[in-house]
Structure 1
Amino acid sequence: MAAFMRVADEQVRRNLRRQRVFRDRQNPLDAYDDMDIIHRYRLDRRTIISIIDIVQERLERPTKRSRSLPDSLQVFAALRFLASGSQYRMIGDTLGISKPSVCRSIDEVINVLCRTLNIIKFPTGDAETTRTKVGFHAIAGFPNVLGAIDGTHIPVTDEHLYVCRKGYHSISVQAIADYDMK
């Protein structure tokens, strides 16, 4: 009778344990053509591949315990969010990953890109901050300004993929500068 109870107990524990789900995840670069990729991610195939190459080493997980989320899928989740602002669940359903995985992927990819590219540098330290504020105040009379941001369209002639809202071929550029135009 005791052996039967142990077997029944084990069976109940197995039934209560959540079964792992392995989803069939496909690579969006293989699933979509060039125009669909641009519409979904706002970047072309070559640019997406270069972003994956940039962040790949820092996103890899050293785990052998389970199947971690591939680096490329993390990049696709982040790019889809940045391109569309969709809800995490919608992005997860599209890519075949969970909502928490989408959230973690967005956070990790953006942090890795910011650390790796290190393009935007705001003043650090009191002396540099004060110098920048004084410089902007001398130019325009605005107090406590650390940077100026602006955007523009740069016309391009040979690229059919980039069409601005005014109907001509251009690439949108955004820039941040200090009082010295750096």
Structure 2
Amino acid sequence: MRVVDEQVRRDLRRQRIFRDRQNPFDAYNDLEIIQRYRLDRQSIISIIDLIKDRLERPTQRSVSHPVSLQVFVTLRFLGSGTQQRLIGDTLGISKSSVCRSIEDVTNALSASLQNIKFPTSDIDVTRTKVGFHSIAGFPKVPGAIDGTHIPITAPSTDEHLYICRKGYNSINVQAIVDADMK
């Protein structure tokens, strides 16, 4: 009887599938990609195409991380707020590579979109900090950030991509402003 139970348990066990963790397109179906990275497959491909020229690194020394992996790392971090070490463990890269990928992808997106301007000079940063201090008395504040869901009419295609956690159709918007609301 015990041998039969063991055989039944072995037959019921799901077949293990080993996947390349560095390519989530192969590892996950469309719904799992949306759940993990907060964007659909086509949007992620568009981001990769937009910034690949800025992130591809010719190297003589070793193999650099592909642009797609750098984008997945960044989207996972931004979409979940998870620790960098955990993201690195999940995708099979080091914490320092996760940190570099997040910075590189964010900078590449900012440069590619050409509509995001952060203060870069010491004078601009100081001006922003002084502005916030004069408004609320908080020292050393470089910006204010907030996010909200804006309700929308359900789109005719891919409606499931626009349903927020509260169950209605929306677009998630995040904004960062300086002391002058720019």
How does the TM-score come out when normalised to structure 2? 0.64
Deviation at 1:121, TM superposition (A): 6.4
**Shift in CA distance, 95/181, structure 1 to aligned 2, threshold 3 Å:** closer
Structure 1, 24-33 or 76-85: larger mean CA deviation: 24-33
Which residue in 2 is equivalent to 1:18? Answer: none
Which residue in 1 is equivalent to 2:15? Answer: none
Measure the CA separation in 2 of the matches of 1:48 and 1:176.
Answer: 23
Tell me which stretches of 4 or more aligned residues in structure 1 moved more than 4 Å: 147-152, 175-178
Task: Give the SS at the match of 1:160.
Answer: helix
Which residue in 2 is equivalent to 1:47? Answer: 43
- Code of the aligned partner of 2:167: G
Task: Give the SS at the match of 2:173.
Answer: strand
Measure the CA separation in 2 of the matches of 1:105 and 1:70.
Answer: 10
Cα deviation per residue 1:30-69 (whole Å; 9 max; x = unaligned)? 1111111111111111111111111101111121331111
Identical counterparts, % of pairs? 67
**Residue of structure 1 aligned with 2:69, choices 70, 73, 80:** 73
Task: Give the SS at the match of 1:57.
Answer: helix
Aligned length: 154
How does the TM-score come out when normalised to structure 1? 0.64
Root mean square deviation, CA, Å: 3.5
Which residue in 2 is equivalent to 1:172? Answer: 172
**Shift in CA distance, 63/115, structure 1 to aligned 2, threshold 3 Å:** same
**Shift in CA distance, 162/103, structure 1 to aligned 2, threshold 3 Å:** same
Q: Which structure would you say has the larger Rg?
A: 1
Which residue in 2 is equivalent to 1:137? Answer: none
**Residue of structure 2 aligned with 1:100, choices 96, 103, 111:** 96
- Code of the aligned partner of 2:173: V
**Shift in CA distance, 151/85, structure 1 to aligned 2, threshold 3 Å:** closer
